[in-house]
């Protein structure tokens, strides 16, 4: 069900309250790793002292690169 003026496409079940700044936001549109906890990566970083995304990239850079490269190679040779 749409809420508020002009808020078509936003439903109550997707609205979360940010754990840091108490802003109400659509968690599907949050850019953070913890989509259902923080409204933005700034809040995530401010609350945790770091972002999980940055932590994952530091710990497993090789894995992340290979995951991105493989689908491209398959698409070129069907
Ligand atoms: Zn926030």
Instruction: Provide the CA 26 distance to its chain's centre, in angstroms.
Output: 11
pTM over 0.85: no
From 7, 28, 20, 29, select the one nearest 51 (Cα to Cα).
Answer: 20
Report how far ligand 1's centroid is from the alpha carbon of 10 (Å): 18
List the pLDDT tens digit at each of the 78 positions of the chain.
555 555 555 567 899 999 999 999 999 999 888 899 999 988 888 888 876 677 777 765 555 555 555 555 555 666
From 13, 44, 14, 16, select the one nearest 31 (Cα to Cα).
Answer: 44
Report how far ligand 1's centroid is from the alpha carbon of 70 (Å): 35
Distance CA 27, CA 72 (A): 29
Distance CA 23, CA 42 (A): 13
Report how far ligand 1's centroid is from the alpha carbon of 51 (Å): 13
């Amino acid at each position: 069900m749409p809420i508020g003026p002009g808020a078509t496409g936003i439903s109550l079940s997707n609205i979360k309250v940010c754990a840091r700044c108490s802003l109400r936001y659509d968690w599907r549109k949050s850019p953070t790793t913890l989509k259902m906890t923080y409204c933005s990566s700034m809040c995530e970083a401010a609350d945790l002292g770091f972002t999980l995304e940055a932590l994952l990239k530091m710990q497993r850079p090789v894995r992340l690169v290979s995951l991105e490269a493989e689908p491209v190679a398959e698409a070129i040779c069907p």
